[in-house]
Chain A
Amino acid sequence: MSSPSGKKNLLQKVEGLEHIPTIPAVLAPLLRYLERPLEDLDVQKVMDMIAQDKCLAAQCLQMANSPLFGRWQNIDSLRGAILGLGFQRVSDIVMSCGVLNMTPRDTGIDPVVFWEHSLGCALVARHFAWKISYPDPGKAYLAGLLHDLGIIVNLWMLPKEFRRAYEFARGEGIPLCEAEQAKLGFTHCDSGRLLADHWQLGSDFRDVVSLHHCQPESHEHGGLIALVELSDLLCRMSGLGHGYVEYQEVNLLEQKAFAVLSKDFPGLKDFDWARLTFELDSYMDEVHTLVHTIYRT
């Protein structure tokens, strides 16, 4: 385990956030614009904003053509994507591409596994939210996408130290956060919080990033945190984890997150977890294909 002074030094290094790329310039104004009422949105304006970033625009088209985003026919233009999928899905896609692009590619750890996990968690969180009638599946998607921001921080700021923690987790088959705690003295929840604050994300997303492995009993955003925590766990147990197998047995009904979410959604007690797990199976191949396609774009 890292000594207290070692932990302090590492955290200070992380707090600098010097080498972390900023979120793509086009994203913030675009997402702000997409928060307007539907009747105020202009397709051409959204197209123009995305088209400013050619790489992002190309990746958005790749993603828009995936069955994961409800493609029914070939989409060959940004206009087609917006008209065919709607503003919410396009917003999800743009944000996904933007965040996935931030993962460094030369740390000795294949970044594709983190892309796959984040995208998988986003999709599962949205699907899960829809199934339990959670009021904002779009927010659940974004929260799932962002929940592991701290891994991006660790990869950028402490590549060698994080790689050691990652190799330890993989060798022991334990959750990544446990290995980080043992080897770094803090987890991606702690470092993710720093970046979430730096980016001035909303308090709900900041809490998901920092609390998705330590669900509090009662919390203002407890439902969203719990939803993401359970989605994250399902992904990790179903082969959409961090690129290795976690040797554990999980009873979702015994998770604190389940108890928290059940308070707001009493129907969860009779929820068909088996079916959700089987449905997740159908994401696997599509997520692999999509992420590898985008990675090459």
Chain B
Amino acid sequence: MTAAEAQSASASTGPVDPELIRIRDLVYQVAGIFLPDNKLRLLLERCQRRMKEAKAQTLYQYHECLTTHPNRQAELVALLNEITIGETCFFRNQPQLDALQQVVLPKIIAAKAKQAFPRLRIWSAGCSTGEEPYTLKILMLEQAQHCLKGWGVEILATDLNENSLEHAKAGLYSSYSTRNLTPYYREKYFTAVEDRLQLPAAVRSGVSFRRLNLSDDSRMIFMKNLDLIFCCNVLVYFDLASKQKVIRHFYNDLLPHGYLFLGRSESLYGVSEDFRLVHLPRATAYVKSEHSEARKQEP
């Protein structure tokens, strides 16, 4: 089936090309990101973009590009870039944020309730241009007079790309980045600057941006005592061994009651047994496993 035929078949909700399913399964196996049936059209479109570049005439040929060609690793990264493109924006994954507020935060607060000076530590790992950590900051500010009254909140935001970090520190965002903002949040937390929205210093403070390579063991060991880690659509670019190493660091960095959040449709299946999957309302997260190898190695 050619790309044009595949698109035509998909548009008429015909039978799905088995080669597309093979590519879907490959992406899940290698990157841990799963595209359910209702996202197959998106996958097809993104494959078609890459097929032009890779000069593949059919999905079968493109699957070959991803699995047997010498530059297969680069092509896979290019496809993953296409799949995750445009993902970064404020309030990107609303069900995840709802679950955080409704279920996770009350549990963490209960776990730390007896501390004299309770403090919440959140890490946005792979924060790109800052939309995720600032979204978390806004949500925590909303709770400052409610369940987090009297709490200190610290948000660490790291990325490998220095340009992204400079963008994040400036706190100036396009309409595309802010497309999911409700009027309430837009008016309360942003100021219009021409056709962009500026986050004031009061919101930006308390979010500390740092350059960090998640593969750098010497730096990773300093990320300690965290309650929450958000690492969305970052691990998809790591090979299995690197993923396992990063996940082990996350395990050691999180407090016993901590939670690890990944991107929508991202999974640790087949990667690590340090964490176990939990279901939250319309979202999933990972908590530290009782049976983790990392726990056995703890003193």
| Residues in chain A within 8 A of chain B (CB atoms) | 67, 71-73, 173, 233-234, 237-239, 245-253, 272-275, 277-282, 284-286
Contact = CB atoms under 8 A, between A and B. Distances in A.
B102 A245 contact: yes
Contact of B265 (A72, A73, A253, A281): A281
Nearest to B259: A249
Contacts of B107: 249
Contacts of A249: 103-104, 107, 278-280
B267 A275 contact: yes
Contacts of A284: 38
Given A237-B280, A249-B280, A282-B39, A275 B102 contact: no
Interface string B264-299: 010111100000111111101001000000000000
B272 to A, nearest CB: 12
B194 to A, nearest CB: 38
23 contacts: A71-B13, A173-B102, A234-B279, A237-B280, A238-B282, A239-B282, A245-B98, A245-B281, A249-B278, A250-B278, A250-B279, A250-B280, A251-B277, A253-B276, A272-B267, A272-B269, A273-B269, A277-B279, A277-B284, A278-B267, A281-B38, A281-B265, A282-B38
A272 B37 CA distance: 17
B15 interface: yes
Contacts, number: 80
Interface residues of B, number: 29
A279 B267 CA distance: 12
B276 A251 contact: yes
A72 B15 contact: yes
B34 interface: yes
Secondary structure of the B contact surface, majority rule: mixed
Contacts of B86: none
Given A237-B281, A249-B280, A274 B269 contact: yes
Contacts of B98: 245
Q: Which 10 pairs of residues, A with B, have the shortest CB-CB distance?
A: A282-B36, A274-B267, A282-B37, A282-B38, A237-B279, A278-B34, A250-B279, A272-B269, A245-B281, A239-B282
Nearest to A74: B12
A247 B103 contact: yes
Nearest to A72: B15
Given A238-B282, A248-B103, A249-B103, 11 more contacts: A233-B279, A237-B281, A239-B95, A245-B98, A251-B276, A273-B269, A275-B269, A278-B267, A282-B37, A282-B38, A282-B39
B28 interface: yes
B247 to A, nearest CB: 14
Contact of A275 (B14, B28, B278): B28
A247 B107 CA distance: 11
Nearest to B15: A72
Contacts of A252: 277, 279
Residue among A67, A173, A277 having the largest count of chain B Cβ atoms under 10 Å:
A277
A275 B36 CA distance: 9
Nearest to B270: A272
A23 B267 CA distance: 43
B75 to A, nearest CB: 24
A72 B12 CA distance: 9
Contacts of A234: 279
